Amino acid sequence: MVNPQYIRTTWPDATALATAVAQLIVTESNKAVQKNGQFTLALSGGSTPLLLYKLLAAEPFINNIPWKKTVIAFSDERFVPATSDDSNYKMVYDNLLSKVPVPKKNILRVVTVKTTPEASAKLYEASLKQYISKAKPFDMVLLGIGEDGHTASVFPGSPLITDSKNMIKDAWHEASGMHRISFTLPFIARAKNVVVLVAGKNKAEVVKTLFAKKQSGLPAESIAASQNLFWYFDEGAASLI
């Protein structure tokens, strides 16, 4: 791994993994609010975080997170309308944001209609700069990884792996035939806490590759954080390491 200082834990299944991450969010959100008056959190799309979002929207977690002082952003988004089933925002809204008392002004969405991908990325970066800077990085960024080793919408061979100039960048993803808006990996690395959720035996091979001594060059291998990098696995994903 590029960043050798990480915290790696393995849980019996995806639900246990999600519960452990929910408990971490309770702790870190309250610490951040006590120290700085707000908690800044970037969410991920995908199937693994879905379980987490459902847990956060229900008791006991919903009552133990300072939602009114939480700022929500997205580590990446597909360039589709917010009503599309491909939209990360729609998935998060349906399962979490519509159920918790986060102020609407604190939800930083990626604009994907009546604009271009390039303009969308610039607009999103401008909205983040109201809350995030080098002096005030994200308190927490949630990520997943794909079987090809991508994270957020940073795919193998992408310039977003090393782009330290931009916080946000648009990228064309050939396999899905759509544009993506994504955090760059150097921007992710500025976050205080980065949490990577990995569940399922289908992720075991890429996890084995990422944690081998030989560098793979895959995007997920370059995930880093300024303070704590957490890798949360279920037993299936960790079965080959």
pLDDT in tens, 26-37: 999 999 999 999
Q: What is the pTM of this model?
A: 0.95
Report whether 117 contacts 79 (CB < 8 A).
yes
What is the chain's percent helix, strand, coil content, to nearest 5? 35, 20, 45
Report whether 124 contacts 106 (CB < 8 A).
no
Residue whose tokens read 């090809």 = 148
pLDDT in tens, 84-133: 999 999 999 999 999 999 999 999 999 999 999 999 999 999 999 999 99
Q: Minimal CA–CA distance to 178: which of 91, 107, 84, 92? A: 84
Residues of the chain with confidence (pLDDT) below 70: 1-5
